[in-house]
Structure 1
């Protein structure tokens, strides 16, 4: 354990050192973040997953910095160039950038013009020039003439290369120029010659003549500019007035001296900035802007994905998945209350189908509903979605409702090996219909099968760094799955993979063991699963539920290690396990948790968690979240009027606003400026994917299919 790093982490996060020490110790012992957050609250002093991951990430960053410092000090020492001043500067540097700036003069690099000039013996001449002597430069330069350097101009050019490289590698110069550029620089873009033709639809039109201070740029603007530049539509550059920069460099290198040698050094200074420092800092700034914008977009994507996964499941109802289509028809699949496939068919309710086929579609649709007692229809929001919605609304029997479901990624899943194994005889679209229906029944269990980037709840996710996005997605899924817990006897291998302590191999072994030996009736039977050792059992058991097993505790999030504590808590209230799921269990609400924890020599937070679990066995945290909007009629964009009050579901949250599903063909946009009377930093401060909200129509653009909405009544917006 690195006590210095731990102390820095504690200071940065304003936490107690004991919290940081305990978290990092537990992580090093192979404990997962969900397990630590849920079952080790006394040791962390009730830190949540976010705080635990912050500790982990900052400790890694600081450790990486220390490792880089060690490697750089070793490299400079081997060159015989390490001085006490440089050693101290590197050891006390607080950022990776500062360390790299100090290392730059000693870094192995490809052969430069300055290196060649030094090989030609010009370094003494360059150092003489830097002394700014009043001697005649030409006379001194003549001493360096040779076959490689036949003219004085060649000698001067070589010396300028050496001085320019030396100036450019000065860590203090770079640090000052970098800070000044951040303060005063702007990012500007113009339309590239011929770029308008490539743009076609004018997607980047707002960036044809764009400029903003570096500190004022929004993440989505940076990502848009990057994409426009990559597509050769825009020309993008960091712009700054260089006079201040060059004047400072002159002051530091030559002061007020303006003799012949000073003029040559001045030329080298200009070369240093123009060729080396300026472009390098522009690259650094562009990279930093992109990294920050990407991280912000990843955070937004993760937040949206989390809320999408945590949407309230529709339990206990037979659902019809409806995958819309024109030419190939609409694929219908009925699944029972547990997601098991019951029946399927294809209907042709839309043109180019003939009148006879369209008439038959309604009858077949109603018959499938009646035969299977369907109560809810999940309509995918892809091609022909709104036409299919009209068809459903026209033909739906009384008492049956429908919901528009985001089908993004359904086709990706339907063509996957997992989908082919489950439904080998189905067409791709028929598998999609099953997936759409299951998304309504249990969004989490279905959506984790799909590449998250295909789900479409972010901005520019296909432009984001794959590794970082995948890590963020993995974290979000892990958090969601473990917060909810899964049914050990129905969970797929794909779902089990995300449970704390399990990997792909162990998850598949659990499913195989279940198939060969029947359902689990005790959590402890997990220990018989091949390759599921004691550590994996410890990490996973509390997140796996057995609905109707031999031990009622197995249908709670009480960890098996706390079963004796749970029995002791029941006994303290004169209750038994048989009282669980009866009104009598409410006696637990009258217990003094602190007093009982002291009496049982247990952690107060653990006692409180066990009591909460005993009061609500089998609890699904999603049940407390808002449900979906059930519809039985259809709305058209032409029906909308400014000022109209509507109810809608948040489909996506971005940096600039939120998209709301109103039940019409196109989602409406609530711009961030129309969300609150007070200024908010980001729409996610108020809205999350899946929220059901009341909105007011501000404007409708029928030509562009755009709907402007407001969270505020229009008189408030007008004010």
Structure 2
């Protein structure tokens, strides 16, 4: 099977689209570039479908690499037959491939290998023939040297037979079938840990049983974490008697002494070799499935977070609130540059609220502040209450901003390079303010796993998680576009075709030579060749450029088409842009060619109507209930405003303005069945909730979504 056939079989995508996408990938084209600028070739495949092609391309190539390794090993052992080679070359499943290789693996000293060295393999073959009349007499012939008795001889032969049974693909697949459909996962608390305070969050799983093929991803990951931390023991169970009977029916064809020995060998193979290996495999498959589900949730949350509403280029006063250490204040200009920083101490123990109000009022006036961003950590509510009590001379918007990951950023090399002369508290406050201006530009500086959205992100396969999150960040950055004259190295590094090194070169060139005047001038950056320019130019913006197309998503390779359209319409490009009356009456088919079709032309017209339009909505101010300061203020039946701050498969968490987030379980999102939480809420959505239950001891709040 070719890579093309394999990917089509796995994705069900059109052959021509897959074929052309593979060719583009082999030419080092990126997912954002292919999905945006090569629609004619792909047949309108979006970035999700192209990413799916990339995933299965990687799987196929890894499978082919493993096949080559196995074939080489079998050739070196001189055991590769034409039949075995054909089976290996035609398999498209890694598990099947490993089963084929299993009998030939060079293993450590096993019981079967020791028995072979004692010369007992012929006896094992006689038993497996199942036609020996006096098995004890035959076995007696092998009693010599280290084989001290007939029982020893038969036991050794059984070890060899057990290994043969373990290596049979049909037996292994039958057990897999039973495990896949009928296995249960059960848990028991480790008695010595039952009263451990840390174990209490896993209390639901102190005695739990559930079908392995039905357990939700979040529950399995929670169980595995509890096991890893030593609070519970986990066991995969299945009907052993039923499986043993199935194996015996498959292997035993006689009713003599040979059958008895084979039956004992089957039980040994099952208990010692097959069951441990295949239950571990079944659990790993379930874990992989759970990982995939959790990673999918994390990716969706991250996308919503990165595409969160920006306030835009506004002058911000940002506050990282605190009690004893005070509140760190920074003032940022519209470009996010730091203009001032200081500390105020409005809360305990100093309680200088009057002095704090005077300083904030003065700073707002001095730096023409347009909005205030307050971190949502310790002392956030108290600080918000203070700020809202101030009577400003101008209309000042007040926002509470998530601090998740800010401490990671403030201690990072990126932050040290940006602010080498300031400590972590200043850097953290700057990050809070910049997140309000542009969440995407600021959050790309932080490891996505530290942002705090998703479920059990530290328990899933970290390489798969990182790979998926990188794709999400790349897609978000390129969907929005990047101002090449103001973007940080971190942001530029996610632009299609750029990467960290070229991003650094762009910033260094910009620092030495000033702002880029045109997209074409970006080619002057060291090591930024034609391929990188082709991949990235459409996603890089030049604000207030001489050619207005440089501040649009129209790719430079299509400027000539726009110029022709403008000329035919009797307009300049500037006159054409935003002129819907003209643009909507253009006969696009007349501009089609072998390389440019309607999809590209339709995208061009859409972009010309609203060039550089930000796909994100603008940030809106939000106010929590000012009477709710701690969990002790929350009572059953209250209706409160809240902000969705995390989404999982089992519901969503809501910030109601206190340290503890409340949970809306899926069953409380709607009166009807909820298939996907994201169909009812989105990250950072402003919603109204009703309090159903408050468990102060366990710090849990159950909520219901109010329509």
> Relative to 1, partners in 2 of residues 1:651 and 1:396: Cα closer, same or farther, differing over 3 Å?
farther
Aligned partners of 2:95, 2:679: CA distance in 1, in Å?
Answer: 32
Which of 218, 223, 229 pairs up with 1:231? 229
Which of 326, 329, 334 pairs up with 2:326? 329
The more displaced of 389-398 and 159-168 is 389-398
The more displaced of 661-670 and 206-215 is 661-670
The more displaced of 659-668 and 419-428 is 659-668
Quote the residue 2:31 is aligned against: 33
1:5-42 alpha-carbon deviations (Å, 9 max, x no partner): 21332243222211111000011011111111111111
CA contact (8 A) 2:329 2:342 kept: yes
Quote the residue 2:609 is aligned against: 615
Cα displacement (A) at 1:589: 4.0
Aligned partners of 2:447, 2:174: CA distance in 1, in Å?
Answer: 44
**TM-score, scaled to structure 1:** 0.93
Asked if 1:386 is matched to 2:381, the reply is yes
> Relative to 1, partners in 2 of residues 1:165 and 1:199: Cα closer, same or farther, differing over 3 Å?
farther
1:599-647 alpha-carbon deviations (Å, 9 max, x no partner): 998411111111122111221111xx36344338734066656555544
| Secondary structure, counterpart of 2:490 in structure 1 | helix
Which of 652, 657, 669 pairs up with 1:658? 652
Which of 619, 637, 662 pairs up with 1:668? 662
Cα displacement (A) at 1:333: 0.7
Quote the residue 1:308 is aligned against: 305
Asked if 1:451 is matched to 2:460, the reply is no
Q: How does 1:700-719 map to 2 (within 5 A)?
A: 700-713=694-707
Asked if 1:285 is matched to 2:279, the reply is no
| Secondary structure, counterpart of 1:202 in structure 2 | helix
The more displaced of 107-116 and 686-695 is 686-695
The more displaced of 410-419 and 528-537 is 410-419
1:648-676 alpha-carbon deviations (Å, 9 max, x no partner): 32211012111122334432221111223
Quote the residue 1:560 is aligned against: 556
The more displaced of 343-352 and 417-426 is 417-426
Quote the residue 1:361 is aligned against: 356
1:46-81 alpha-carbon deviations (Å, 9 max, x no partner): 111111111122133223323433443443344343
Quote the residue 1:147 is aligned against: 145
Quote the residue 1:196 is aligned against: 194
Cα displacement (A) at 1:96: 0.9
Quote the residue 1:52 is aligned against: 50
CA contact (8 A) 1:671 1:709 kept: yes
The more displaced of 367-376 and 174-183 is 367-376
Which of 669, 672, 676 pairs up with 1:678? 672
Which of 548, 552, 558 pairs up with 2:544? 548
Cα displacement (A) at 1:154: 1.8
Aligned partners of 2:595, 2:224: CA distance in 1, in Å?
Answer: 59
Aligned partners of 1:389, 1:704: CA distance in 2, in Å?
Answer: 27
Aligned partners of 1:368, 1:54: CA distance in 2, in Å?
Answer: 51
Cα displacement (A) at 1:344: 1.4
Cα displacement (A) at 1:593: 5.0
Aligned partners of 1:111, 1:640: CA distance in 2, in Å?
Answer: 64
Which of 366, 373, 394 pairs up with 1:371? 366
Aligned partners of 1:642, 1:601: CA distance in 2, in Å?
Answer: 64
Cα displacement (A) at 1:569: 1.9
**TM-score, scaled to structure 2:** 0.95
Aligned partners of 2:698, 2:488: CA distance in 1, in Å?
Answer: 43
1:175-217 alpha-carbon deviations (Å, 9 max, x no partner): 0101111111101110013122445350110000011001110
Aligned residues: 704
Asked if 1:262 is matched to 2:259, the reply is yes
CA contact (8 A) 1:629 1:649 kept: no
1:319-357 alpha-carbon deviations (Å, 9 max, x no partner): 11110111111101111121111211101111122x4x3
Aligned partners of 1:682, 1:217: CA distance in 2, in Å?
Answer: 17
C-alpha RMSD over aligned residues: 2.2
Which of 410, 413, 433 pairs up with 1:437? 433
Q: How does 1:315-714 map to 2 (within 5 A)?
A: 315-353=312-350, 355=351, 357-395=352-390, 397=392, 399-579=395-575, 585-598=579-592, 602-622=596-616, 625=617, 627-631=619-623, 634-636=626-628, 645-713=639-707
Aligned partners of 2:10, 2:412: CA distance in 1, in Å?
Answer: 44
1:444-502 alpha-carbon deviations (Å, 9 max, x no partner): 11011111111101111122222112111211110000011110100111111111111
CA contact (8 A) 2:213 2:286 kept: no
